[in-house]
Amino acid sequence: MILMRRFLATILIGVLLTACATVPDTGRKQLLLIDPSQEMQLGLEAFEKIKQETPISKDPEINALVQRVGKRIAAVAPLPNAQWEFVVFDAPKIANAFCLPGGKVGIYTGILPITRDEAGLATVIGHEVAHAVARHGAERMSQGLLAQIGGEVINVATASKSPQTRQLIQMAYGLGAQLGVMLPYSRTHELEADRLGQLYMARAGYDPRKSIEFWKRFAAWAAKQGKRPPEFLSTHPLGKTRIRQLEKYLPEAEAEYRRAIQQRKP
């Protein structure tokens, strides 16, 4: 039993020492146990499935808008080996968007009344692309794998205790992992995507101040949808939290925007 504990502890330490990475631009350290090629393949397969199951918009004006904005964001996003594709899904009741590993971007038509214009759409696409650049999906998967390893360590360490005690310890560990690690990291990912998305839209030549206007509109829209859980129980930060951060990093984005405008001048 002692040898098993030491073996699992050694694995855990090895994982933590060898799987560290750094997010571009923010410099945040992260744990990544998923191979990039594997992550991309999962993204490509998932996107094909979504396209088969969800109606695709045939509106030429909307599609032209999404392609135009998407390509400008893609041109400045550091996503190696991306196979960029921008698809508009005809779902007026879904105010959402996503970017899967590999550069597969989906925009649901329900988000367009909130984006309103190109800068608003650039805010959304920049935010979603940032999730892919920062490999947030792989990081969440890695955290899940690490939590499983931790659970196994606890399971071995408590083998001599009663079944009831072991069950309580496992439940406490699961709750602690969810509230203390998984949810906070989800909120960290959202705020990081906000910051990176603001930078990308600025580098693409869109006024980053418009990102704050969009998130204010989105917060107002979300408030009308009903009550939401407290922030510590939610995967997304409160509207005022993300707006405060965007205002904090606005000078950095505005400097990028000025450089982009200068470069676009003939």
Contact 201, 126 (CB under 8 A): yes
In the structure encoding, which two tokens stand for residue 5, read together? Answer: 């504990």
Among 39, 128, 190, 192, which one carries the catalytic annotation? Answer: 128
Chain centroid, CA 55 distance in Å: 24
Which secondary structure element, helix H or strand E, spans residue 22, and what is its range?
strand 20-22
* DSSP secondary structure string for all residues of 69-101: HHHHHHTT---TT---EEEEE--TT---EEEET
Residues 194 and 223: their CA atoms lie apart, in Å, by 19
Per-residue pLDDT of the chain (266 residues; tens, 9 = 90+): 444 444 444 444 444 444 678 999 999 998 888 888 888 998 899 999 999 999 999 999 999 999 999 999 999 999 989 999 999 999 999 999 999 999 999 999 999 999 999 999 999 999 999 999 999 888 888 777 665 655 454 455 555 555 655 454 444 434 443 434 444 457 888 899 999 999 999 999 999 999 999 999 988 888 888 766 554 445 567 788 889 999 999 999 999 999 999 987 76
CA 27 to chain centre: 16
Contact (Cβ atoms closer than 8 angstroms) between residue 189 and residue 139: yes
Tell me, yes or no, if 118 is annotated catalytic: no
Domain boundaries, the chain: 18-264
DSSP-derived secondary structure letter, 232: G
pTM: 0.79
